[in-house]
Structure 1
Amino acid sequence: MIVESQVLGKKLGKLIVKFNSVGKIKEFEGELLKLDPEVEDDPEIAKILKEYLEQMKK
């Protein structure tokens, strides 16, 4: 889940949510990740994004 993106896309928010057996949030944690050329693309996410962008062109 993307929860935050800083100006100019330099940082990305990451949120981890854990649920109990009845579906209620039992804990969560978040962090801000720095994006730079050393960060490699995740192939699975890149595929999802590509499909989404293709749908947006229609």
Structure 2
Amino acid sequence: MMKQVNRFILAVSNLLFSITLHAEVVVTEEWARATVPQQRATGAFFKYKPAIAGVF
């Protein structure tokens, strides 16, 4: 019974947390760095700002 309660609390908190993280943003100047055969990773770069001024 306690496991079910814990799972329910976890599910509800995840739902509420994901709702608060939802934000509309505008991405500009995006680009990705190319790799050479010896590299194991790449990079992506961009600037972002909120779609509505002053809200972030």
Normalising TM by the smaller chain, what interval?
Answer: under 0.3
> Based on CA coordinates, which of the two structures has the bigger radius of gyration?
2
**TM-score for both structures, normalised by structure 1:** 0.24
Q: Higher helix fraction: Structure 1 or Structure 2? A: 2
**TM-score for both structures, normalised by structure 2:** 0.24
